[in-house]
Structure 1
């Protein structure tokens, strides 16, 4: 009976989930058309503020609707005190493709590091360019732009794993986040993303219906000051994340349920 109810519930909730995702796609497309018109008209600083606020409000609407119709349960209240802070790096674990959408929705000052190919994406590119998100095609340019953005009062959302988690409790960290912190003299605020769902984890196709509702719970960890030895700090940060994710025990079953895909060891931290 339990399995039958689970199957029936998923069957009933699948159409609303796809409608919700279609709505997100259409909303992203509409905003990108607006951003395409605004980009040449607005000065860089104003465009950055408008672009980031527009993306944040759009994603916030998506999460609000998803929660209201029972598709998702979101607890991101811990991010509220961070909204107005300047020059802050937010480093989080990366279980699913939805993580960046969740963080950016609640942090309207923040920028993301994006794959260069996404800057040409019809659903993301124009909005990302208006918001002055950071490309990852050149490691040197990526670090330089991230440092400049932080010094100008922005925030940076970054995933030290560089790609979605494929090994429990998390992938090995790349040194980009601690190098950026060192050069910008910016603190690193750690955030833990707990979820019970494998949906849009590495190897999970968007059309495959997950157990519903999808649950996300965010919690703040410690804040780390930048250190002169960025490599040593990367190792320390990774140990800290491993200890505090393993301590909760959350996400293990979800990760095991998702097909494993090997991470790209050469890929910089990406959206």
Structure 2
């Protein structure tokens, strides 16, 4: 009997997941991208103000989405130390990346949040317009990317980065790229670390949306320490690559902690 109930619950979560993603896609494409963001581009000429309004809009839509999927029993989640984020400005927010929902969850509680995205997504028909209107930063050559980062941080913004560059694999040690460390050092921005746990794993790398686990996934998102970048800055600018390696090792050790 217990096994039957588990199977029925799993089947329900497959249906609810399909409904949630359909709602997510239609809302993102029709309401945000094709209607609301086009209106913003027409009536809000100030780029910074337009970016901020777009990011608030995305945050509200993500908050609604995760409320829907939680209410339908697809997932459950808990934020710890969320009050720390309210005072974070001019900093990077660095997190591990176990699930496709990581950005959705974090952006839902950060009304103003710039994000580092793959440059190829700018050409995506469905989300390219959203990315451009929100002012998200394309992960491209350093000489093009750093001015965007400096401008965002100078206006009291914060940049969300998943330094793995892709979703992590459960049970495997997290390995970070040095991009986040280089940005923090060159822009002299502190780093807020967020640890995300998802048990059992859901929407991991190479996993189909309908491959839901037998039990309801539980996301535990913990806002942890803030790293003072001054502790890693070298007085000799030539040693910035050495500092970046040292900072990356430190970030790796922190994000690998359970």
Check whether TM > 0.5.
yes
Correspondence 1:142 to 2:156: no
Greater Rg, structure 1 or structure 2? 2
Q: 2:179 aligns with which of 173, 176, 182?
A: 176
Q: Which digits, 9 at most, give the CA deviation of each residue in 1:97-128, with x for residues without a partner?
A: 11111111111111111112222323322121
Q: What is the aligned partner in structure 2 of residue 11 from structure 1? A: 11
- Aligned counterparts of 2:41 and 2:21: Cα–Cα separation in 1: 26
How far the C-alpha of 1:11 sits from its partner, in A, is 1.4
Runs (4+) of structure 1 moved beyond 4 Å?
none
2 CA distance for matches of 1:138 and 1:206?
Answer: 32
Equivalent residue for 2:247?
Answer: 233
CA distance in 2, matches of 1:158, 1:94: 10
CA contact (8 A) 2:182 2:244 kept: yes
Contact 1:191 1:219 in 2 (8 A): yes
1:80 to 1:64, Cα distance in 2 relative to 1, 3 A: farther
Correspondent of 1:48 among 5, 29, 51: 51
Which runs of no fewer than 5 residues in structure 2 stay unpaired?
234-242
Partner secondary structure for residue 75 of structure 1: strand
Q: Structure 1, residues 61-114: CA drift from partner, whole Å, max 9, x if none?
A: 101111222221111253343135321211111001111111111111111111
Alignment of 1:1-271 (within 5 A): 1-29=1-29, 30-33=31-34, 34-42=36-44, 43-166=46-169, 168-226=171-229, 227-228=232-233, 229-242=243-256, 244-245=257-258
Q: Which moved more, 1:74-83 or 1:51-60?
A: 74-83
Cα deviation, residue 157, structure 1: 0.7
How far has the Cα of 1:40 moved from its partner?
4.6
Q: What do you get for the CA RMSD once the two structures are aligned?
A: 1.8
Deviation, structure 1 residue 17: 1.8
Residue 83 of structure 1 contacts residue 108 of structure 1 at CA under 8 Å; is this kept in 2?
A: no
2-structure distance, mates of 1:67, 1:101: 13
Structure 1 CA distance for aligned equivalents of residues 125 and 214 of structure 2: 30
Give the TM-score normalised by the residue count of structure 1.
0.83
Assess if the C-alpha contact under 8 Å between 1:115 and 1:135 holds in 2.
Answer: yes
